[in-house]
Amino acid sequence: MHRLDADRLRALFTKPYGKPAPSEAQWRELYDDAVHFQDPTQEKHGIAAYIAAQDGLIQRCDDVFLAPAAIAIEGNTAFVEWEMGLKIKGIEFLYPGTSRLQFNAEGKVVDHRDYFDFVGPTFAPVPVIGGFVRWLYRRFVA
């Protein structure tokens, strides 16, 4: 089994602004053909759908960065804490989050789930809508 170790996970979850995202060949080397992917905005089944989702994000943005923080691996499960930045039409959106990865017997990612707040970082910087989102969050937290 050639599971992703902490160094390989750190490399996978590192993409500075201005640098290319992983290629299709790199994704296919690390992810199982039947991978399941889910985040707060979508759910995809299969490597082709996963790659299309990653490529779609890159194409919708002027630039993207991803920076890993803590990484924990136990058995066939890994957690990677990260921060993602998206530059869209001159505005930078920052999303702190965590990915849970599960590996199959061959050591490839068979399940990838991202956990992050999509609404707050997306709408908080937007005039008028941002004030409403912050008010709404305070209503639920206070």
CATH of the domain at 69: 3.10.450.50
Higher pLDDT, 119 or 87: 87
Q: Evaluate whether residue 29 is within a structural domain.
A: yes
For residue 37, the enclosing domain spans 6-116
Q: Evaluate whether residue 122 is within a structural domain.
A: no
Please state the pTM of the whole predicted model.
0.87
Q: Evaluate whether residue 88 is within a structural domain.
A: yes
Q: What whole-number distance in Å separates Cα of residue 127 and Cα of residue 125?
A: 6
* 8 Å CB contact between 1 and 107: yes
In which band, very low, low, confident or very high, does the pLDDT at 2 lie, cut at 50, 70 and 90?
A: low
Q: What whole-number distance in Å separates Cα of residue 107 and Cα of residue 3?
A: 4
The strand ranges marked E within the chain are: 31-39, 42-45, 63-74, 77-88, 91-103, 109-116
Q: Evaluate whether residue 76 is within a structural domain.
A: yes
Number of domains in the chain: 1
Q: Which of 70, 78, 76 is nearest to 96 (CA)?
A: 70
